[in-house]
Structure 1
Amino acid sequence: MPKPSNKNEIIAAGLHVMFRKGYHGAGVRDVVAEAGVPQGSFTNHFRSKEVFAAEVLDHYFAHTRKLVGDALNDRSLRPRERLLRYLDIITKRLANDDYLRGCLIGDFSIEVSQVSELLRERLAEIYKEWCKPFEQCVAEGQQAGEISAQFSASDLADFLLTSWEGAILRMKVERGPEPLDRFKRIAFATVFAAERLDRA
């Protein structure tokens, strides 16, 4: 009879440990201790820490993808409101963690993109996929006239996620919501506002 796999437990444990200690600070012993499994279970499933981190990143992004879908597919809200809804969902989750924990995608972008080509390429793929539903929502808002069409929908989607990741990094430094609130106030009063009709 085959032994039960501990792979999912190790990946979940890796997410917790890497949030606390980062990629470089998270050792295999830390991860298996968090998962409550023998160290041999790790090497049975992952040929390297780098490959393991890629699976942890995919696990995290799968959850992020669901949050995006929950917000941007809510047809009871107008497109611009859906964009804000996503940011508000994330703000609430960050508040629940006392602003200590940010976004693993952003953390990895800083920590590993210069030392791991495998992880850098995976992050690039994630950003590309992550932007698509935002691009679609922005385009819908532009067509409805509630978001300015001065910039392309793809550029605005990229700006939204890139700037939001920067706000999260500042939030971690300041241990409070003001960087997040500041971004929402300014972005949605300017680049995500409707085209002004009174412009000369």
Structure 2
Amino acid sequence: MPKPSNKNDIVAAGLRVMFRKGYNGAGVRDVVAEAGVPQGSFTNHFRSKEAFAAEVLDHYFAHTRELVGQALNDRSLGPRERLLRYLDIITKRLADDDYLRGCLIGDFSIEVSQTSELLRERLVAIYQEWRKPFERCITKAQQAGEISTRFSANDLADFLLVSWEGAILRMKVDRNAEALDRFKRIAFATVFTAEPPFGPQQSGS
């Protein structure tokens, strides 16, 4: 009978360790100790720490996709409300962790994008995939007259995710929800409204 694989346990342990210590601070010994497996199990499944981190990132993003679907596929809400629902879901999860843990995608964007081409390219692909359901939702909101069409749905989706990641970074510093709440309050009173943000567009601009 084949011996059961420890791979999933190691990846899950890696996620916990990298949240606490970051990519550079997380050693293989830390990960296998967290997983409760021998170090040889790590080298059996992963050719390098960099390749391992890519799998941890994929594991994290798979869960993020579920949260996106939970909010943006909720047909009981209008498209604009679904966007805010997603941010509220994430805010609740961050509060449950006492604002100590942020978003691994954002953390990796800061820590590894200049030192690992493999992880940088994976992050590029994640951002592109992550943006698509928001772009679709914003398009529906624009078609329903809930959000201005002054900016493209693509640009608005990217703005939402990038700005939200910045708010999460500030949250980790302050250890409270003020930056998250401020972003939601201002963005949904200006950019994500039916009225064109910053006044009517001038001709020739």
- Which interval holds the TM-score relative to the shorter structure? over 0.9
- The correspondence of residues 44-193 of structure 1 with structure 2, limited to 5 A, is 44-193=44-193
Deviation at 1:2, TM superposition (A): 2.1
Q: Is the 8 A contact 1:149 1:195 kept in 2?
A: no
- Give the partner amino acid of 1:155: D
Deviation at 1:3, TM superposition (A): 1.5
CA–CA distance in 1 between the matches of 2:5 and 2:152?
46
- Give the partner amino acid of 1:179: A
- Give the partner amino acid of 1:85: R
Deviation at 1:90, TM superposition (A): 0.1
Deviation at 1:4, TM superposition (A): 1.1
CA–CA distance in 2 between the matches of 1:176 and 1:30?
28
- Give the partner amino acid of 1:75: R
User: Once the two structures are superposed, what CA deviation does each residue of 1:21-76 show, in whole Å capped at 9, x if it has no partner?
Assistant: 00000000000000000000000000000000000000000000000000000000
- Give the partner amino acid of 2:40: G
Specify the alignment match of 2:26 in structure 1: 26
Q: CA RMSD in A?
A: 0.9
CA–CA distance in 1 between the matches of 2:2 and 2:135?
46
- Give the partner amino acid of 2:10: I
Which stretches of structure 1, 4 residues or longer, exceed 4 Å deviation after superposition?
A: none
CA–CA distance in 2 between the matches of 1:34 and 1:186?
41
User: Once the two structures are superposed, what CA deviation does each residue of 1:129-179 show, in whole Å capped at 9, x if it has no partner?
Assistant: 000000000000000001011100000000000000000000000000000
CA–CA distance in 2 between the matches of 1:92 and 1:163?
18
Q: Is the 8 A contact 1:17 1:30 kept in 2?
A: yes
Deviation at 1:82, TM superposition (A): 0.1
- Give the partner amino acid of 1:124: V
Gaps of 5+ in 2: 201-205
CA–CA distance in 2 between the matches of 1:177 and 1:70?
22
SS, match of residue 189 in structure 1: coil
| TM-score, L = length of structure 1 | 0.98
Specify the alignment match of 2:203 in structure 1: none
- Give the partner amino acid of 1:138: I
Q: Identity over the aligned pairs, expressed in percent?
A: 84
CA–CA distance in 1 between the matches of 2:82 and 2:167?
19
- Give the partner amino acid of 1:135: E
CA–CA distance in 2 between the matches of 1:4 and 1:132?
37
Q: Is the 8 A contact 1:145 1:195 kept in 2?
A: no
Deviation at 1:77, TM superposition (A): 0.1
Gaps of 5+ in 1: none
User: Once the two structures are superposed, what CA deviation does each residue of 1:105-150 show, in whole Å capped at 9, x if it has no partner?
Assistant: 0000000000000000000000000000000000000000010111
- Give the partner amino acid of 1:23: Y
Specify the alignment match of 1:12 in structure 2: 12
- Give the partner amino acid of 2:21: K
